[in-house]
Structure 1
Amino acid sequence: MNDSVANDGGEVSPMILTIPTESLAEAGLESHAQSWFGAGANAPVTADQVVLIIGESQLAEAADALGQDPAELAAEIADQLPSLVDSVSSPELLGADGAVPELRVRLTPTARGMSIAAGCRACLGDV
Structure 2
Amino acid sequence: MTLTFDEICIDAHDATALGDWWSRVLGWPRDIDDDGDVVLHAPPGAGPNWLFLAVPDDKVVKNRIHFDFRPDDQRAEVERVIGLGARRIDIGQGEPSWVVLADPEGNEFCILAAED
Q: Which structure dedicates a bigger proportion of its chain to strand?
A: 2
TM-score range for the pair, normalised by the shorter chain length: under 0.3
| Larger RCO, structure (CA 8 Å, separation 6 or more) | 1
Q: Which structure dedicates a bigger proportion of its chain to helix?
A: 1
Structure number with larger C-alpha Rg: 2
TM-score by length of 1: 0.24
TM-score by length of 2: 0.26
